Chain A
Amino acid sequence: MSRPEKVQAALKLMGNPYASLSLLDDAGEHAAIETNLEQKRAYFRKLENPHAFSSIFGDAGDDLWQAAANRNGNNLITVLEKELDEVLGLYKPYVARNDWKQLMDYRPIFLAQVGETFERIERVTNRLQKFKFSLLPGEKVEYNRAPAVRIISELKKILV
């Protein structure tokens, strides 16, 4: 069934002809938000101006949630793993050197605890997205000082 046919079928079920507006708008909006986030990150790097962080990202929390929700449901576990690795990779320079192994040991535990339901995997993936931060070219996170337990405790909160 093509996408227009699917929309027609959904409208019949909903019994509301005006629902097409929200159905069509939502799909376009999600794709636009996803593109926007990547564009924002690229723009921030290009500007090389740390002062620009807030004005570019603003209160990006809600956008991130919606963007992540647009991901393909077929590969949710792969997406979750990729997201977790991206987030951990971002924090790696900051984690105390001796503690990195502890964090890596927690990785499979975290993934196992997420569970297998579609909603839960998607919710955790979306939450993980929020913890990504952007650095400028040449900008470096200082000190390998964050204890693994601190990050693990934050990751556990995501699971709740």
Chain B
Amino acid sequence: MKYLKAGNIRLFWVTTFVYLFLIFNSLQFLQASDSHAAAQGGEIDVAGIMIHHVTDTHDWHFFDLPGEGHYEAISIDLPWLIYDNRTGISFYPTTEDLLHSGKYILEHGKVAAISFEVTSINQLAHHVEEDFKNAGGKNIELDSLYWVNLFAREHYVLVQDHNPNFPPRLYKLDMESTVLDLSLTKTSLQMVLVGFAMILVFISVAGYYTRRKGQGPKGLQSFVEPVIVFIRDQIAIPHLGEKKYARFLPYLLTLFFFIWFSNLFGLTPLNSNIAGNISVTLALAILTFIITLFSASRSFWGHVFWFPGVPLPVKFLMMPVEIVGMFTKPFALTVRLFANIAAGHLMLLALIGLIFILGKGGQSVVGGLSISPLTLAFGLFIYCLEFLVAVVQAYVFTLLTAVFIGQAMADHSHDHAEDHSSTDHALAGGSHH
């Protein structure tokens, strides 16, 4: 093998590494298909797997292993912490405990408080009639059956598991209680893990600085230090100025490394998806927004509400434009990061799922094999691109945060008085995406 020369051995290992990761990313498809789909010929629900990867759940599901007659789910079942204004805080270690508690049920994956379980048809009819009368309805007659039906559907819920051992059960929802789900979900746990990784990396790098004062960087320090210096010299100082950048540098560094580590974590076979959840990116954008608001100077607010240097009617027009512009910036930050990461994950899953769709879940070997070269080549390309996207999206989010904070902090008052040309502003404030 001529290419296994000394210089190329690194390329060989990198290629092997990337191929292995691509193969491991198919691990999510090793799972039991839905019982309905299985009856129709063993099709794997690719769209379901894709949606399940992006949405947040209460168990971290890796894959399923075939057992004797059923599939063994390899997952981490996460605890539930529920606040109910009726009963206060309740804690359940697993989903099974929640379902056996008698107080809550899962309706479409969301927890709902129940009053009691209805065990007979007579009991149901009696309760519905009573509730309907209490809610102001007349006695039940045949022509109001539609309204009774609607009412019953709102207040009663049928839970069925498609499990032959557990028949469907009917519950009455507790309408006075509002349930707040505070539990540690899959995405939260993944964020905690990324946080631990960051703590580990940066505390050890900080230790290098205290132990090796004045010496050159070594090991992990020599990898992290150029990145930190890059963020300080290319992002923080140019946009925030020499005097004030140190206040915001910790936030910028945390943002950059959190997004970068989360994206890298999403590229492992552990079925992780942090920045691909819009709630996470919205939270980061709201943090940026709050910091921008609190560091905004007087002239910033002057520009938003009473734009200087333009005729009076235009001043009234500019106010809503500037206010909306204030909100579109964090919105753009949110959607940019979310869409990039989620789309990358979904693309990889869709490409690998194409093998299963064309192979009809294992029935058509030719179908599966025919698409495999395309999937492997394109999937490998997209996978390598995702590493670039991971760092570029972190860089863009951090850069735009620094730019917005810098724009808000900028003090125009001693630059020019009222002869403030609008072209000047169009150049400076032109990042309304």
Are A and B interaction partners?
Answer: no
Query: Which A residues are closer than 8 A to B by beta carbons?
Result: none
Query: Which B residues are closer than 8 A to A by beta carbons?
Result: none
